[in-house]
Amino acid sequence: MKKKVLVIYYSQTGQLKYVIDNFIKDLYDEEILVDIRSIKPKKKYPFPWPFYQFFDELPESVYLDGCKIEKIEDIDKDYDLVIIGYTVWYMSPSIPIAAFMKSEQAKKILKNKPVVTLVACRDMWILAQEKMKKMLKNIGAVHIDNVVLTDRGGSVASLVTLPRFLWTGKKNAFLFFPPAGIDEKKIEKTSRFGKRLKKALKNNEEKRKKPLLKNLGAVSVNGKLIATEKIANRSFKFWGKLIKIAGKKYSIQRKIIITIYFIFLLSLIFTVVPLNIIIRKIVYPFQKDKIKAMEKYYELPSGR
């Protein structure tokens, strides 16, 4: 009998879709049926993002509120393996993906199923993945693998190139900055994961509900970013609450708080962020073992 794989994702600019296309390129086989479905928000998110709307999505992202999405039509419940592709919005799975994960349909499709998560984002995904793991557990899915791709240029350059891309649509290299987004070559090489999954499915290995993508360089955690991510997540939660209390979505009251938040954020980027990088470098040798252990934990289940 043919094996059935469901790929479910939400990609706004198409980058994650390109990752998925490459990831599953070598998964196809006459014995494997691949069903690809995208999550469709009832109200489309704009691209490029208007400045205020970009920040208006912060509270709903951080608090996993979701949004209204279309029901996925003609979908089975008996997949052998599910791949969930998601991007990160404010250190959380994007709003449309959170909406799907909280839907009745997700419960029906994912219960007891082995799930591979595939993340494509700037470079801060650890806490989003913790939230995703919790949502998967809540609906009884079995998380077996995680693959992560992050933007080129590292965390400092992408702090400039990604917002530029999201707010203007410009992806090109400029000044001394590389192009925005994930390196295309890195994306193309994700076909190795599909290839491995095909082999595993043919050998019924997915039935063991254990990792299938070990030793393929699926995930690499930068330990120096863990603390920064935790601090930023706490700050998002605080400001998210303030923006929510201020008023309805896209209201003028929210815009006022967002303006204050943006000034605060800019001052952080120019003061606390560089200071934090220096401090992390200094304390790293003293916390090396602890950080290495955390890296190992966040790299589970697939590992480096």
Ligand X SMILES: Cc1cc2nc3c(=O)[nH]c(=O)nc-3n(C[C@H](O)[C@H](O)[C@H](O)COP(=O)(O)O)c2cc1C
User: Which residues sit at the interface with ligand X, rule CB under 6 A?
Assistant: 11-16, 54, 57, 87-91, 120-125, 162, 166
Q: How far is the CB of 199 from ligand X (least distance, A)?
A: 27
**Nearer CB in complex with ligand X: 57/205:** 57
Least Cβ distance, residue 291 to ligand X (angstroms): 19
Give counts: helices (H), strands (E), the chain: 12, 7
Residue 19 sits at the vertex; the CA angle it makes with 16 and 22, to the nearest 5 degrees, is 155
Phi, psi of 77 (to 5 degrees): -120, -5
Under 8 Å between Cβ of 69 and 235: no
Cβ closer to ligand X: 20 or 201?
20
**Cβ count near 257 (within 10 Å):** 20
Cα gap 265→238, rounded to integer Å: 13
Q: Which amino acid is at 6?
A: L
**Distance (Å, rounded) from C-alpha 210 to C-alpha 97?**
24
> Minimum Å distance from CB 3 to ligand X?
27
| 41/211 with CB nearer ligand X | 41
Q: Which residue from 253, 188, 198, 190 is spatially nearest to 218, judged by alpha carbons?
A: 190
DSSP string, 62-102: HTT----BPPPPS--S--SEEEEEE-EETTEE-HHHHHHHT
Of 12 and 146, nearer to ligand X (C-beta) is: 12
- What would the two tokens of residue 57 be? 């999505």
Shortest Å, Cβ 123 to ligand X: 5
Q: Which residue, 87 or 302, has its beta carbon nearer to ligand X? A: 87
Task: Say which amino acid occupies 84.
Answer: I
> What is the total residue count of the chain?
304
CB of 286 to ligand X, least distance (A): 27
Nearest approach in angstroms of CB 14 to ligand X is: 6
Smaller CB distance to ligand X: residue 22 or 201?
22
What secondary structure letter does DSSP report for 30? T
